[in-house]
Structures are given as C-alpha cells and as structure tokens.
Amino acid sequence: MRIRDVKVLPTFVGRRNQFILKIETDEGIHGWGESGLSSRELAVEGAVRHFREFLIGKDPMNIGALWQEMYRSNYFEGGQVLTAAMSAIDIALHDVKGKALGVPVYQLLGGKQRDWVPLFAHTQASGQQMVDDVKLFVSKGWNAIRTWMWAPDERDAQGRRIFEPRESIAPTAHWLTKMREGVGSEPMVGIDYHHRLSVAEAAAFCQRMPRGTIDFLEEPIRDESPEAYEALRRMTDVPFAIGEEFASKWQFLPYIERGITQFARIDVSNVGGLTESMKVAGWCEAHYVDLMPHNPLGPICSAATVHLAAAVPNFSWMEIRSSPTEELGFYDREFFPVQCQQDGPRLIVTDTPGLGVEFDEERAAKQEYRIGETRHLRRREGAITNA
C-alpha cells in the first residue's frame, strides 16, 4: 500500500475551525487526522504541503519511520507549526493502518485497558453561576469538573478587551471557596487560569484559598520557562496540570522529570500525534503522572484521544466540550456521521477498525474556513497581557 495524496480540509464546525486532514492510499483506504494549532491553520496547511511532497508514494504502515523522517529530515526541526502538521498526519496514518488491519487503533497501541474513558466537564461561568454549574454537574453524575477564572467582560474606550490578572485573584479564590463549601470534598474540581498570571500572582491566588479547595490548577503561568514553574512549584502544594501547548516529548521532559506537573495535559493533535503521545505517556507512567488530555477540537481529535486513553494505564480524565453547560456544535453529526459515542461523563471506546470516525467531505466543501484570531487582552493602561 502506498500514500496517494495528503489533503487538508480546514472547516468551520460549530463555533470553531477544525483542521481536518485526509490521507488517501492506492488501495482505496483513507485516514482522518486533525491538527490543534487553533487560529494558525494556514501555517499548518503550508507545513502539510511541504511534507506531502515526500509522503506521496511511501508505505503508510511504517508510521514510526515516517514520524522520524518528518521530524528529523528538516535542518530546522520541530516547533509548534511543523509538529501540529505531523500530529494530523500521524493520526491519519494510524486510522489507515487500523482500517488496513481491520482493528481499532487502540490495538496498534498495545490493546484496550478500559472500556470507556472518564471525562471532565468545563464551565466558563463566574460567581454564583459557577457554583450552580458545579452543583448541576455533580447532580448529573460528573465527578471531575474544571472552572474558569473571574473575567468580567470589560472593554476600553476603543472596544478592546480588558483583563487585570491581579484583580481576578480575590473573586476567583472567594467563589471557589464558596463552591467547595457547597459541593463538599468529594468531586474533583480544578481551574484553568489559561496562563494569565505571573509567578507572584499565581502563588497569591493559591494562598487565598483553604487547603483542599481545588484539586488542580491548570496553566497558572506561561510554560516557556520550566524554571519559573519550579519557583511556583515551591510556593504552593496545589497540583498542576500543564502541557496542552507542548509540541514534543522534549518539551514535556523537564516538567515530568523535575516533578513540576502532576497531570499531563497532553494534546494528541499538537504533541506529534499518537506516536509521540505514547512515548510521553510511558515517561509519565514512570513518574506516576496521569494523562489528563487536552481535547478542545472535534470528533477526530476526540477519537484519537479515546484510543490513547484506552491503551495507557496512567489516565485520569479527558476534556470534552459537550456537557450539561456546553453545547458548542463541535461534534456536529452532519459533518461527522460516524464518531465516538458519549454517555454523560463517559466516552465509549469504539471497536470500529481505525479511529472510528468519518468526515463528510462533500458537506464540508459547502462550508468555508473562516480566518479567526484568538482574543487579545490588555491591561487598563493599554499593555498586552496573556490571552
């Protein structure tokens, strides 16, 4: 079997673009992949065009060798754009291989270790609404929940969005404390600060809550500097959840080996696909760190993540953007007639050969890709702050 073509089909589905990739083979088997470098899809498309030149004519079964060739046969290896492109290709190759062998992808990764994948839900609400949302999740059987920081919709005179990191700390800590008093000690509740704080602000935030208020703190600061995270690690005992932006095992290395992160927020569509994810998972297992995968995209990333979750022993909860408080249209069945089945806080591991997801190319052809920017945030005096 040989690769005949590598196509990109960036498509707006629900409230976001999904960077869909298709690998076609000379035996009529095709595979689907998805890249996760959201809002920079055109750059990833360019990277795929470069890789396509030497992938055509190759044997799609040799996934590990193709990964090495894509990563190492560049003088300027790695980086988020190239690895996002490689991720989509690697996922699609696994889909092809599973279909060719007549087995679900988890069989290519060592076999099934769980029948369904536990999910965590997200609420973007603030204040009393956040407390009510967490109670709603618990009442509907969700026992892992992620919340969001206090971030009122404030604009400056030019209509630009304002976020003051320091001002968010006290109300966020106050309402999380109220939330924990309301739901008791059992449910696992964390917060995503979306790397909007400094080391000092993140430490102060943790100090404003009684111990045990939150079970994890996701991305309190930016992640370019493991040394900065180590400084923060010494200032609080709240577990961290880091890694959704990491684009290789080497970026995970200091965070795992130096005990900086306690949950690995691995993103299969950014880290280098399933090939790289399995290596990170093994490394995490050696350090008793569980995977808590980042999954904000669509059904292809979800399916790839489900197979990863099925095949590893060290796993906690997988992100899903479909819950009692969120219906964002990412899993639209008009575009994805075959996809994973969700049962409340569980995603069922599919036994369909390959990934177990199909994309309607003809439907997608009628839907344009929309160039989009992520939010830009400013302090009141006009300076840029992390989005």
Which residues form the interface with Mg ion (CB under 5 A)? 192
CA-CA-CA-CA torsion for 303, 307, 313, 315, nearest 10 degrees?
-10
Task: Output the smallest distance, CB 101 to Mg ion, in A.
Answer: 35
Kindly calculate the radius of gyration of the chain based on its CA atoms and give it in whole angstroms: 21
Q: Distances in Å between the alpha carbon of 366 and those of 309, 334, 339, 362?
A: 34, 12, 21, 7
Residue 94 vs 146, nearer CB to Mg ion: 146
Locate 16 and state its tokens.
């976001």
In the complex with Mg ion, which residue's Cβ is closer, 45 or 192?
192
Instruction: Note whether 324 and 140 are within 8 A (CB).
Output: yes
What is the number of alpha carbons within 13 Å of residue 218 lying toward its C-beta? Answer: 22
Considering the complex, what minimum distance in angstroms separates the CB of residue 319 from Mg ion? 8
Shortest distance (Å) from residue 122 CB to Mg ion: 9
Least distance from Mg ion to the Cβ atom of residue 194, Å: 6
* CA-based nearest residue to 109, from 372, 355, 321: 355
17 or 107: whose CB is closer to Mg ion?
17
Q: Which is nearer to Mg ion, 41 or 218 (CB)?
A: 218
The CB-of-98 to Mg ion minimum distance in angstroms stands at 29
User: Which among 64, 92, 113 is positioned nearest to 8, based on CA atoms?
Assistant: 92
What's the closest the beta carbon of residue 36 comes to Mg ion, in angstroms?
A: 12
* Residue listed under structure tokens 């009122």: 152
* Torsion sign over Cα 294, 10, 247, 372: negative
Coil, strand or helix: which one is 7? strand
Give min distance, CB of 196 to Mg ion, in A.
11
Residue 359, judged by CB atoms within 10 A of its CB (0-12, 13-18, 19+), counts as: buried
- Cα 284 from Cα 288, distance rounded (Å): 6
Closer by beta carbon to Mg ion, 192 or else 332: 192
Whichever of 66 and 266 has its CB closer to Mg ion, that residue is 266
Nearer to Mg ion, 192 or 223 (CB): 192
- Residue 194 or 233: the one with the smaller Cβ distance to Mg ion is 194
Shortest separation between residue 57's beta carbon and Mg ion, angstroms: 39
Determine contact, residues 154/201, Cβ cutoff 8 Å: no
Please report, as a single letter, which amino acid is at residue 367.
Q
Q: How far apart are CA 104 and CA 111, in angstroms?
A: 9
Three-class SS of residue 325?
A: coil
Nearest residue to Mg ion, by Cβ distance, number only: 192
